Amino acid sequence: GAVVSQHPSWVICKSGTSVKIECRSLDFQATTMFWYRQFPKQSLMLMATSNEGSKATYEQGVEKDKFLINHASLTLSTLTVTSAHPEDSSFYICSAQDRLRTGELFFGEGSRLTVL
């Protein structure tokens, strides 16, 4: 099956620093990628939809300047948590939509962010 790779899978950073999480589709081209975040004891919530070559569409309540999303190529989307704070500590997952297999989604392994 198609593979989506997230990196890093585990990151710890100090409060006030920025952290970048990468989401790569390894063997297919993804026109659309989705970023999710898990709140404690809740399901993952969609943060934003990222389309290659255009600005991301953010869900209500998600700060655009806080969570910068870049989808510069058909195989890579990045999520940058800027000026991270402890409340940003969470589990982030990306998913990618295969350009050639309409509607089929593939999920990354997730990235656990801990902000000290």
Interacting residue ranges for other proteins, rule: CB under 8 A = 1, 4, 9-10, 34, 36, 43-46, 49, 91, 93, 95, 103-112
Minimum CB–partner distance for residue 2 and other proteins (Å): 10
Minimum CB–partner distance for residue 104 and other proteins (Å): 6
Whose Cβ is closer to other proteins: residue 99's or residue 112's?
112
Minimum CB–partner distance for residue 53 and other proteins (Å): 20
- In total, the chain counts a number of residues equal to 116
Query: Would you say 68 and 80 are in contact if contact means Cβ atoms under 8 Å apart?
Result: yes
What's the CA gap between 95 and 34, in Å, rounded? 5
H or E stretch at 37: strand 30-38
